[in-house]
Amino acid sequence: MILLSPNKRIICTLNNSTTFHCAMLHKKPYHYIMLSRERIKTLNIDINEEFLVEIVPDISEFGMEMSEELKEVLYSDPEGKILFDQITSGKKRSIIYLISKTKNPQLQIEKSSVFLEHLKRNKGKFDPIIFQDDYRKFRENNKF
């Protein structure tokens, strides 16, 4: 079922302990998922030994969970939401990841706001390098 789906996004569970959103990649004749070194280390997986992998299709809107902070910022900025809706799914996931990897909710709100201003200033185009620079400048200008 998953192999026939045009959507490569899946939810993967490793050793019945860690669940995460990812992509099922394809290189004939194989399908595979990529695991970061950090994830392998956290799970204490030996890549030369067998481990349990459970996969199910990811039917979520973005292929990963969006933080409540980003949802609220998008809700409060209709113009920014329109621009967000127009970017590609992969770029949406990149943004969701960049914002969600920030653990502090207040910083997530700031980063989300800077992101929407970045989209507006660049006519809906997302450039991750310029965005990171925009966020760095925002933080420098708003130190207390």
Q: What is the pLDDT of residue 2?
A: 52
Predicted local confidence at residue 28, as pLDDT = 85
How confident is the model at residue 1, as a pLDDT? 43
pLDDT for residue 122? 92
In this prediction the pTM is 0.74
For the stretch 39-63, what's the b/e string if a residue is b when 16 or more beta carbons lie within 10 angstroms of its beta carbon?
A: eeeeeebeeeeeeeeeeeebeeeeb
* Mean pLDDT in order along the chain per 10 residues (144 residues): 65 89 86 88 86 88 90 95 93 91 92 94 91 91 78
Please say whether the dihedral angle defined by the alpha carbons of residues 121, 125, 130 and 134, taken in this order, is positive or negative.
Answer: positive
Strands 18-23 and 25-27, bridge-based pairing: unpaired
Q: What is the per-residue pLDDT for 58?
A: 86
End-to-end CA distance of the chain: 53
Contacts 24+ apart (CB under 8 A), 27-36: 31/3
